[in-house]
Structure 1
Amino acid sequence: MQNTILDNELEELKFEIIRMGALIEKAIYDSTKSLINGQVDLAQQVIAEDDKIDRLNVDVQDKCLRLLALRQPLAVDLRTVQGDLQIATDLERMGDCAEKIAKSTVRLAGKRTITELSCLSQMTEKVREMVASVINAYTTADIETARVIVKMEDEIDGLYRQCFDRLVEIIKKEPGKAEMAIQLLFAGHCLERIADHATNIGESILYMVTGRRTDLND
């Protein structure tokens, strides 16, 4: 009976993480779309909905702590709860990054001076792909996909360096575009941080499935 209750609670916890992941995917998609297209209304929607992600994170954290205290899970079940606890934290931080990107959109309202955003657009698409992949890997316990995540992070890091160099050049040579360039630099850094958190989730998945701590950046 105890195992059945624990199994059900672990399944409920997984559902909450997947739900949280879906909200994060949407927040990242909408915030980056708002930035690239200058859609302030969409950005404000992302900012408003971040509270929903925060509340869900608190709920997941509470569930994990109650499971640890009341059910005292062992072995695989213990790793699952520990992994979910860390994954929820990384997802919530991704949501914070998406909110910051949306705030950059709002700050740029009526002040957009740079129209060529191909580098940032490429980075955005790769980050979206990475986040979708790692959430799917969590859903299916796919450790092979989790291991591939680091390669995607390397690509994103490369794109960020390109964006950084280009935007710094704009700041130096075209002072009138500096304000937007600074906001885009900030958004690019947020995208890079989202990729870092996705890598952390990949490491958590590997730990949950294999029982081994793995640094995907090695």
Structure 2
Amino acid sequence: MHNTILDSELEELKSEILRMGAMIERSIYQAVVSLIEDEVDLAQQVIAEDDDVDTLTIDVQNKCLRLIALRQPLAVDLRAIQANLQIATDLERMGDCAEKIAKSTLRLQGKRTIADLSLLSQIGFDVKEMVTNIINSYSAADIETAKNIVKVENEIDGLYKRYFNILMDIIREDPNKADMAVQLLFATHCLERIADHATNIGESVLYMVTGERTSLND
């Protein structure tokens, strides 16, 4: 007979991961809005809430390790626990990236020299959408969405490279705008890292559902 206690504990674990996911989605959105709209209060909120994400991550990690130690899960359940452990780590790192973007907002307070942030806005929106989709794919064990995530990541990479070149030109050509351009470079790099972590989660979803280790970056 399958272990019903383990089943309910795995469901509880999934709920915690989804709660983390919702927190991360909000943090990414708020961090990007804070940077584009120069909203310092919102940035400070993102930074303060990162502690909650860290606490939840530790809780999820401890739960995973306890389940492995106490419940002696079968292969399929062990796979789910391993995937959850990895997903929690990637979500926490996304949260760290959102916090870094919020810190760029604080650094630019009263020192803004670049008005057109439309490309940053597009990258931010695409990354947020990517994170939403990958969390939904985890929730529904939807491997098609998980596989398709790499297309979105490639589009984000293309936008990032384009914006990188624009910002480097600004740094070379206009010293007055260099400080803000550097912060925008830093923030956009953080968004690109979030996209990488979303792709990792896609790989974890595929592993959890199919049992196969698949690299989505090849």
TM-score computed with the length of structure 2 as normaliser: 0.99
Deviation at 1:131, TM superposition (A): 0.2
Take 1:43 and 1:8, find their aligned partners in 2: how far apart are those partners?
A: 37
Deviation at 1:2, TM superposition (A): 6.8
Deviation at 1:74, TM superposition (A): 1.3
The letter for the 2-side match of 1:136 is N
Residue number in structure 1 paired with 2:169:
169
- State how 1:24-39 maps to structure 2 within 5 Å: 24-39=24-39
Take 2:74 and 2:110, find their aligned partners in 1: how far apart are those partners?
A: 56
Is 1:189 the counterpart of 2:181 in the alignment?
A: no
Preserved contact between residue 119 and residue 162 of structure 1 (Cα < 8 Å): no
The letter for the 2-side match of 1:200 is N
The letter for the 1-side match of 2:207 is Y
- State how 1:39-188 maps to structure 2 within 5 Å: 39-188=39-188
Q: How many residues align?
A: 218
Take 2:118 and 2:157, find their aligned partners in 1: how far apart are those partners?
A: 16
Preserved contact between residue 6 and residue 71 of structure 1 (Cα < 8 Å): yes
The letter for the 1-side match of 2:181 is A
Q: Percent identity?
A: 72
Unaligned runs of 5+ in 1: none
The letter for the 1-side match of 2:158 is G
Deviation at 1:119, TM superposition (A): 1.2
Is 1:16 the counterpart of 2:12 in the alignment?
A: no
Q: Which shows bigger deviation, 150-159 or 117-126?
A: 117-126
Take 1:139 and 1:200, find their aligned partners in 2: how far apart are those partners?
A: 15
Take 1:72 and 1:198, find their aligned partners in 2: how far apart are those partners?
A: 29
Deviation at 1:118, TM superposition (A): 1.3
- The alignment yields a C-alpha RMSD, in angstroms, of 0.8
The letter for the 1-side match of 2:111 is K
Take 2:11 and 2:73, find their aligned partners in 1: how far apart are those partners?
A: 14
Unaligned runs of 5+ in 2: none
- Per the alignment, in what secondary structure is the counterpart of residue 73 of structure 1? coil
The letter for the 2-side match of 1:74 is L
- State how 1:198-217 maps to structure 2 within 5 Å: 198-217=198-217
The letter for the 1-side match of 2:80 is T
Take 1:206 and 1:110, find their aligned partners in 2: how far apart are those partners?
A: 46
TM-score computed with the length of structure 1 as normaliser: 0.99
Q: Structure 1 segments of 4 or more deviating over 6 A?
A: none
